[in-house]
Amino acid sequence: MTINRRDFLKVSGAGAASTLITGCASQGGASAMKGNPKVVIVGAGFGGATCAKYLRKWGPNIEVTIVEPNDNFVSCPISNWVLAGMKSMNDITHGYGNLSKHGIKMVKDYVVGVDTGKREVKLKSGSSLSYDRLVLAPGVEVLTDSVGGYKEAEAAGKVVHAWKAGPQTAHLRKQLEAMPDGGVFVMSVPTAPYRCPPGPYERACMVASYFKKAKPKSKIILLDGNPDIASKKGLFMWAWNTHYPGMIEYRANNAPRAVDGNKMIVSTEFDDVKADVMNVVPKQRAGEVCGMAGARNDSAGVWCTVKLDSFESTTVPNVHIIGDSVLSNLPKSGHMATNHAKIAAASIVEMLAGRPPISVPVVANTCYSATSDTTAGYVANVFRFDKEKGYVTQPDGGATGQGDEINLAYAESWAQNIWAEALS
């Protein structure tokens, strides 16, 4: 593809001339000289889809391709509401069709290799894509191997994590519907850091909400790998005591070690817990493609560390990581992934034009959790960028201590808006 001179001038302005002369050596501009810069994005979730849209908005000369294996986007936020019967799978499932309106190319495929030297992504279909900059937005890889017997029980349909919304969410809802009144739902919380810190506790609320109406003699045992409720503690304690007294048994420091799908038992260090429905959520790491790119570079080789002004890997040049795969003090939330995406997009536009990354000085996280079918609460924090410390949490943020009706309405509106922000 050749540079359209009119667009080129319109888009890049005065800064572009210096790009062509000086920007190539340090910014991977070799192919940019031959044509439009190319960005390949792996994953069309909250992070990847949003990044693609903003790259096209702020850098209309950039060729943006997303590689995504799934036909549809299924939202993790609000997926717990499906378990309560408040929403259907259809409500949380959205198509990718609108992304093409922005000039984004969707490739339905699966990445099987990344050559960061050649700047090339290899696809399962056998073809490959070259890039000037690569954005990895794969979400998390759930480490089912870390729990004994998990894979066998999962294959038999006896245990699911449902920590990636989709068929497992629907399966879990069916299991809950089939469970007799007086049954025991055993759920686990992975050791932090994991995707969506308040998610497991919201899930306990949502399942309790369903039980309260449909099978009130039932019980929930929450096995937490952490020493305490990891997020919005006050809100969830309020909800459990107010809406579901006696229904939820919380056990700290109780990470499951094994599951037995035949006997329906979850085993911890301390005892064997009998379940009617098992929802064990194993620990997680950065998505597989991050491993292929050599970008799982934290001390444990599990998560990705990035320069927070651009979300470029601290060790792998031209590769940016956004969303839940990143290790930082920014929460692993879908909302945060969309904001990683915007910071990365702004900086990538600048870097492809031969300028330094933009330091977006301030960014915020918002996360609603439903506490019943009529109430919700939230946590909100603002983070300011510091060159040495990264994004520093500002005072006066935090979580609500109780849920209410207006925040349930806001939560629903938030979901509609963030889905539209990422996909419309």
Partner 1 sequence: MHKKSILLIAGLSFAALGTAHAADLRTQAISATCLSCHGPNGKSGGAIPSLAGLEKGYFVQAMKDFKSGARPASIMKKHAAGYTDAEFEAMGAYFASLK
What is the contact surface with partner 1 in residues (CB under 8 A)?
A: 13-15, 54, 58, 335, 338-339, 342-343, 346, 349-350, 355, 358-364, 366, 378, 380-385, 387, 394-398, 400, 406-407, 409-410, 412-414, 416-418, 420-421, 424
Nearest to 114 by CA among 101, 128, 99, 95: 128
Q: Give the nearest distance from C-beta 103 to partner 1 in angstroms.
A: 16
Q: Is the dihedral of CA 233, 175, 169, 187 positive or negative?
A: positive
Q: Give the nearest distance from C-beta 106 to partner 1 in angstroms.
A: 18
Nearer to partner 1, 97 or 301 (CB): 97
Nearer to partner 1, 176 or 379 (CB): 379
Write out the two tokens for 232.
Answer: 């919005």
Nearer to partner 1, 226 or 372 (CB): 372
Q: Return d(Cα 248, Cα 218) in angstroms, integer.
A: 9
The region that residue 184 occupies, defined by phi over 0 for left and psi between -120 and 50 for alpha, beta otherwise, is beta
Nearer to partner 1, 231 or 338 (CB): 338
Nearer to partner 1, 222 or 423 (CB): 423
Nearest to 316 by CA among 300, 304, 328: 304
Tokens 């379940």 map to which residue?
275
Q: Which long-range contacts (CB under 8 A, 24 or more apart) does 378-381 make?
A: 378/407, 378/410, 378/411, 379/198, 379/231, 379/232, 381/331
Q: Give the nearest distance from C-beta 415 to partner 1 in angstroms.
A: 9
Q: Give the nearest distance from C-beta 73 to partner 1 in angstroms.
A: 15
Amino acid at 3: I
Q: Give the nearest distance from C-beta 368 to partner 1 in angstroms.
A: 9
Nearer to partner 1, 313 or 333 (CB): 333
Q: Give the nearest distance from C-beta 328 to partner 1 in angstroms.
A: 16
Burial of 390 (0-12, 13-18, 19+ CB in 10 A): middle
